[in-house]
Amino acid sequence: MQLILELKPYKIKIDENKAIKWIITIFIITIFTGLLTPLGDVPYTYLAKTMQGNTTENISEHLPLILINNKNIMIVITMFLSILIFTDTKIKLRDLFMLAGLVLLSFMSRRQTSMLVLIGNFIFVKLIVQMINKYDNNTYKKIQNFMTGILGQAISVILILCISLLMLKPKMNDKFIDENSYPVKACDFILENLDVNNIKLYNEYNYGSYLIYRGIPVFIDSRADLYSPEFNGTKNEDKKYEGRDIFSDFLNISNIGTFYESKFREYGITHVMMGKNTKLNLLISREDNYKLLYQDNNFVIYERLNANF
């Protein structure tokens, strides 16, 4: 007995779309719009410089995605693969490339998972609709007709409102700014008692942006890339960037990986603000060279007495 298998190869159909030429034209025009900004070549080199720096190794949102710790993403990817493998549902080539790119970006950096959810959601819905339409076309049409009717639209609006209220209710009594995470009262003290134009303040990474919001010059803030040599330095003969690595200095100071006093002297630090329960505060609180100016349940401020020497 001879077994003959007839294989039908999949074909890639290319449909002509007259709008493509306009999309390509707009794409070419937008490539050069980066030259209109006052930032020079930053719109074109930002990603490359960021990847060359060390900020991606230390900031949570830049770290690679660990699938076992992100069960939601794991479930979504499993559902995608299940539909494509175990059903006769087809996916368009453009959607496949888009999905593959989004998944790759998500694995490279956790911050990209939001893009996977936002854009990948449309692809996922298209696959679900195609699968239902193929296996039970009548049910799909009934659902479509019902949901596009007045009653279906009303149910959709009510569901959205109910879900929104459930999400909003636990946060209704929250303060706009959490004083446990941001030095609200400490900033009030600085603005009322110190000349912010004549001090050099050392602060921690997480609340640097809030200090800027209050008009207080900072040592570092959450724009970590700007505090690396790739952005504040210049290339040397070896094609490596030379400049102040403020981000690394902050990490070493906060983790007691270097002698903080030498770094404070290098940067001319006059005042120090930090969390009350940090390692650095444990050491500085015992030194005569630092005068305690302010403290609350979460933050402390010191004056460095020998800052002018």
> What DSSP string runs through 29-82?
HHHGGGGGSTTTTHHHHHHHHHHHSSGGGT-GGGSPP-GGG-HHHHHHHHHHHH
Q: What is the pTM of this model?
A: 0.71
CA dihedral 70, 72, 75, 78 (to 10 degrees): -60
> β-pairing, 299-304 with 290-295?
antiparallel
- Taking the C-alpha atoms of residue 171 and residue 244, their distance in angstroms, rounded to an integer, is 41
DSSP SS3 for 307: coil
User: What tokens were used for 269?
Assistant: 């630090």
For the chain, 309 residues long, give each residue's pLDDT as a single digit of tens.
444 444 455 555 566 677 788 888 888 888 888 888 887 778 888 777 777 777 777 777 778 888 888 888 888 888 888 888 888 888 888 888 999 999 888 888 888 888 888 888 888 888 888 888 877 778 778 888 888 889 989 999 999 999 999 988 887 777 778 888 899 999 999 999 999 999 999 999 999 999 999 999 999 998 888 888 888 777 777 777 777 889 999 999 999 988 999 999 999 999 999 999 999 999 999 999 999 999 999 999 999 998 765
Contact 188, 182 (CB under 8 A): no
Contact 115, 105 (CB under 8 A): yes
At 70, list the tokens: 């992100």
Structural domains for the chain: 20-169 (no CATH), 184-304 (3.40.50)
